[in-house]
Amino acid sequence: MRYSPFLVEAEYNAHFVAFETLLRESDVIVICVPLNKSTRHLIGAAQFEKMKTGVVVVNIARGPIIDEAALVAALDSGKVSSAGLDVYEFEPKVHEGLLKHPNCTLLPHMGTFTEETSLDMEVWKTVTDCNMIARIGLNWILKLITLCFIELDHSQHEILSDAW
């Protein structure tokens, strides 16, 4: 089945709106977009200005999507009443203003640290590996593995030789 915004709207009683409308009318904004050229600093000073006073902002996507200096200013002014982040613009460094702000909740990016997600990731990797083998051929994979073992064995041999 293909994705249809009309089906999503009907099923969840949701409405797709323009970005400017979303900024202007939302009480809570949860950011979950991929990071690319067009989304870097998608939320900055100009976007915070368009938001309702007292908006809650949550970023669970990628850190550089929010200009953290602009977020700190918006928190300090009360434009943003609170923020929740588990990703940071300059990871692992976190903006000092966010660390000190009482209305900012900062968490490590651990969304994949669940048993279910770990299992899903293992399955995904296995499927990906099988697809890679199918694409480039088992013979090439075996040659690559053989070269890796030869290199590993050679490195260990040098280490052992140095030790004696």
Task: State how beta strands 28-31 and 80-85 pair.
Answer: unpaired
Point out the catalytic residue in the list 62, 68, 89, 101.
Answer: 62
> Would residue 62 show up in a list of annotated catalytic residues for this protein?
yes
Q: Are 70 and 44 in contact (CB under 8 A)?
A: yes
CA nearest neighbour of 65 among 80, 48, 43: 43
Residue 131 has a CB neighbour count (10 Å cut-off) of: 10
Point out the catalytic residue in the list 9, 20, 49, 91.
Answer: 91
Q: Are 88 and 94 in contact (CB under 8 A)?
A: yes
**119 vs 45, 114, 116, 122, 129, CA distance in Å?**
40, 9, 5, 5, 15
Task: Report the distance separating Cα 58 and Cα 31, nearest Å.
Answer: 6
> Would residue 91 show up in a list of annotated catalytic residues for this protein?
yes
Terminal Cα distance for the chain, rounded: 65
Which residues have a catalytic role annotated? 62, 91, 109
